[in-house]
Amino acid sequence: MLPSVEELVDRARVVALPLATRFRGIDVREALLIEGPQGWTEFSPFVEYDDAEAAAWLAAAIDFGWTPHLGAGDVRVNATLPAVPPERVAAVLDRFPGVRTVKVKVAERGQTRSDDVARVREVRRRMGAEGRIRIDANGGWNVDEAEHALRELSPFDLEYAEQPCATVPELAELRERIADLAIPIAADESVRKAADPLAVAREGAADLLIVKAQPLGGVTAARRIVAAAGLPAVVSSALDTSVGIAMGAHLAASLPDPGLDHGLGTAALLSADVTDDPLLPRLGRVEVRRPTVSATLLDRHAASPERTAWWLDRLRRCRALLDGPDGFGTDSDGFPRSAS
């Protein structure tokens, strides 16, 4: 059924990839890659996540590496703009050729609403009237802060606001308060970090979902959540290597098209990758395919022995949780799933 821990460890490689722009407070992205029967797959929960949360990411890696997910064609993607000052906006966006949509990070700790407005204003100036702008606060505002911010940002014609507040009740209240602005609310952390990922839909707290394949337990599990929620879904990445981006692209291609660009262009934020043909945005799109991983690049960007040992220990602990009583296991087809 599930691969053994010995099989996973034997097939694993750990890499440390430098970022082109500091993002989420890091300059290097670590990831554990596993060569499965269906191709390479990725296990890369952020280092601060505990084992219970990280186990869903391992379920996703097994699902993608051991399940034949078919995909072809391409999907439209947005550019992702970290919380940089206005003078650095152009340099970041130049890494996303052909995109028509930019997701702008806001509510960064240590910055002000004026910083957010300046950043969004510069994106609108650069993208023109036809460009699409969405913002992502990562739950960084309370309801009052979010309302004030969205009213100040509304002249820039926002496509939607992603996770402006942390909790489902806050999102529901905010949605009522800004009904006159007609800015849709998208839920991210309230889906992928929630004990009940469907609560946000049930409580009428969001207009659409942001789904990530790894945190939700994989392509199979995420597809089920989207179907059950009954809301449009945008697939996003978690600063993955091209292998993780491929997982998200396969998920995006398998969902109903919401007419919105997916957040799967973030390989452009890396200065290095694990394939000679990375899944970078080209003409605003990313291909739906499994990349060929380069042994040379795996060696060149191998993590230190200490960090490799840390990741392999984490892999062992999370693999044990997949067989435990805390909500992880296999579905009727024998593939990994989360309690959701």
Mean predicted confidence (pLDDT) in 188-213: 94
Mean per-residue pLDDT, 3-18: 98
Would you list which residues are annotated within the binding site? 136, 162, 188
Q: Which residues participate in the annotated binding site for Mg(2+)?
A: 136, 162, 188
pLDDT for 331 beyond 90: no
**Global pTM value:** 0.92
Q: In this structure, what DSSP letter does residue 28 have?
A: E
Average pLDDT score over residue span 206-212: 97
Which pLDDT score is estimated for 325?
A: 59
**pLDDT tier for residue 340 given thresholds of 50, 70 and 90:** very low
Burial 119-139 (b: 16+ CB within 10 A, else e): bbebbbeebeeebbbbbbbbb
Task: Give the pLDDT score at 333.
Answer: 41
Q: Which two tokens stand for residue 183?
A: 């800015």
Please report the pLDDT score of residue 328 as a whole number: 53
**pLDDT, mean of residues 43-68:** 97
Measured in degrees and rounded to the nearest 5, phi and psi for residue 321 equal -70, -25
Q: What is the mean pLDDT of residues 25-42?
A: 96
pLDDT of residue 25: 84
Superfamily of domain 74-287: Enolase-like C-terminal domain (3.20.20.120)
Residues of each domain in the chain carrying CATH 3.20.20.120: 74-287
- Averaged over 173-190, what is the pLDDT? 97
pLDDT of residue 161: 98
Residue 126 banded pLDDT, cuts 50, 70, 90: very high
Range(s) for CATH 3.30.390.10 in the chain?
5-70+295-337
Q: Mean pLDDT score of the chain, rounded to an integer?
A: 94
pLDDT of residue 70: 85
Q: How many CA atoms lie within 13 A of 296 on its CB side?
A: 2
What proportion of the chain, given as a percentage, has pLDDT over 70? 95
In sequence order, what are the beta bridge partners of 210? Answer: 234
Task: Please tell me the predicted confidence (pLDDT) of residue 320.
Answer: 97
Sheet with 12-23, edge to edge strand ranges = 12-23, 26-36, 39-43
Is the per-residue pLDDT at 249 higher than 50? yes
Mean pLDDT, rounded, for 252-259:
94
Active-site residues, by number, are 105, 212
Q: Write down the pLDDT at residue 1.
A: 79
Q: Which CATH class is domain 5-70+295-337?
A: alpha beta
Residues paired with residue 187 on neighbouring β-strands, in sequence order: 209
Cβ 43 vs Cβ 31: under 8 Å: yes
Predicted local distance difference test score (pLDDT) of residue 115: 98
Question: With bands split at pLDDT 50, 70 and 90, how would you rate the model's confidence at 335?
Answer: very low
Reading the block at residue 166, the tokens are: 């942390």
Residue 334, pLDDT score? 42
